[in-house]
Structures are given as structure tokens and as C-alpha cells.
């Protein structure tokens, strides 16, 4: 059992209030990281990683083109554009921020953050790319198929939230990822309205 001194890593003594809250939540949620439910949900959430999500977007576009369904093709194009823009935005921010992932906090009592200097997975927690991509694609789908908005939103939310107990991201990581996804899709929507009017 952790002692009080081991609950908060020394590096968080200078952390701001958001980081302190992130650490506290991650430590508590991390207790469930090895449960079967979190393992399964975490594995399923990998559908929002870049390669599979790009493949899903491209397949939607291709299916629309192959079957002569313009709306489906436009949906795939919107999904792909939103995802690629969200990914680009996320990548720029990741390069400017170093932040150790929660698994290092939970397993080794390590937490570090600062100006971006290390392009390494364990130090690139902020922001959540899975969340950015999932939100961007979910909103793209919802714009074309409003009836699918609740399901798409619920799926994106589940993908984002499971990152916390699986120790992949902090709460502020997924919050930032969601904002990035929203901005990316909104930007694409403006572009589509201008270049591809109905």
C-alpha cells in the first residue's frame, strides 16, 4: 500500500492545480488498469489510433465512390479531412510539451512536465490523439447523418474516457484532445461549405 509520501511524486510539488488534480485522478483510476473490462475497452479504443482510423475514413470514402452514393463519399472525405487536421494539430502541440504518461506515475511514481524536448511516447501524454481523432470523426459523421450523432458521440466519449483508467492519458489530455477534434472538424465544415456546397 502506498504511503502518503508516495502518493504525490516530488515533481508535482511545483505543478499547477490542474496537474495536481490530474495526478490525483490518475492515481485513483489507475487502480483499475489491469481489470478485464478496462483491458478489453482499452484494446477496443485502439480503433481511434491513427492507422485504423485513417483506414476507416478512407474505406468510407471508397465505399461511397464505388457504390455511387455521393453523401457517403462526402462523409468519408469529411471524416478523413477532419481526422488528418486533428492529427496535425495534435502533433504540433505534442512536440511543444513534454509530459510523462500516467502509467509512469502509477507504476514508478514519476511525473514530469515541461517544454517539449523529448519525442518519445512515454513523454508525449499531452494532448490525447485518440480523443482528438475520435471527436473529429464523430462530429464529421454527425454533420452528414444527424441521426447517428448520439451513437457517434457516445463512442468518441467512451474512447476518450477509457484512456484515463488504462493510464494512457490524464483528464486534461483528453479535454485538450476533444477541443482539438472539435476545432478540426469545425474548420473542415467551413471549408466544405465553401468548396462543396450542397
For the chain, the structural domain boundaries read 9-195
Name the percent of the chain in helix, strand, coil, to the closest 5: 75, 5, 20
**In which band, very low, low, confident or very high, does the pLDDT at 6 lie, cut at 50, 70 and 90?**
very low
Residues 98-149: tens digit of each pLDDT: 999 999 999 998 898 888 788 777 899 999 999 999 999 999 999 999 999 9
Reported pTM:
0.89
d(CA 99, CA 88): 19
Which residue is associated with the grid cell 482499452? 42
What 3-state DSSP class applies to 58? Answer: helix
pLDDT tens across 76-101, in order?
Answer: 999 999 999 999 999 999 999 999 99
Residue 32 grid coordinates: 483499475
- With 0-12 CB in 10 A as exposed, 13-18 as middle and 19+ as buried, what is 5? exposed
**pLDDT value, residue 90:** 96
> Topology of 9-195 in CATH?
Vanadium-containing Chloroperoxidase; domain 1 (1.20.144)
- Beta-carbon count within 10 A of 172 CB: 18
What cell numbers appear for 69 in the block? 452514393
Amino acid at each position: 500500500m502506498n504511503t502518503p509520501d508516495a502518493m504525490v511524486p516530488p515533481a508535482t510539488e511545483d505543478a499547477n492545480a490542474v496537474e495536481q488534480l490530474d495526478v490525483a485522478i490518475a492515481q485513483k483510476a489507475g487502480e483499475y488498469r489491469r481489470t478485464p473490462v478496462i483491458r478489453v475497452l482499452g484494446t477496443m479504443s485502439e480503433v481511434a489510433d491513427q492507422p485504423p482510423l485513417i483506414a476507416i475514413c478512407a474505406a468510407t470514402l471508397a465505399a461511397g465512390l464505388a457504390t455511387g452514393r455521393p453523401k457517403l463519399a462526402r462523409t468519408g472525405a469529411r471524416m478523413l479531412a477532419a481526422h488528418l487536421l486533428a492529427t496535425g494539430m495534435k502533433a504540433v502541440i505534442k512536440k511543444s510539451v513534454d509530459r510523462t504518461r500516467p502509467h509512469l506515475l502509477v507504476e514508478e511514481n514519476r511525473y514530469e512536465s515541461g517544454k517539449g524536448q523529448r519525442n518519445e511516447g512515454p513523454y508525449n501524454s499531452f494532448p490525447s490523439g485518440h480523443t482528438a481523432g475520435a471527436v473529429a470523426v464523430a462530429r464529421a459523421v454527425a454533420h452528414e447523418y444527424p441521426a447517428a450523432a448520439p451513437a457517434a458521440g457516445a463512442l468518441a466519449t467512451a474512447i476518450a474516457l477509457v484512456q484515463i483508467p488504462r493510464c494512457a492519458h490524464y483528464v486534461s489530455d483528453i479535454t485538450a484532445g476533444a477541443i482539438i477534434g472539435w476545432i478540426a472538424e469545425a474548420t473542415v465544415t467551413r471549408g466544405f461549405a465553401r468548396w462543396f456546397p450542397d
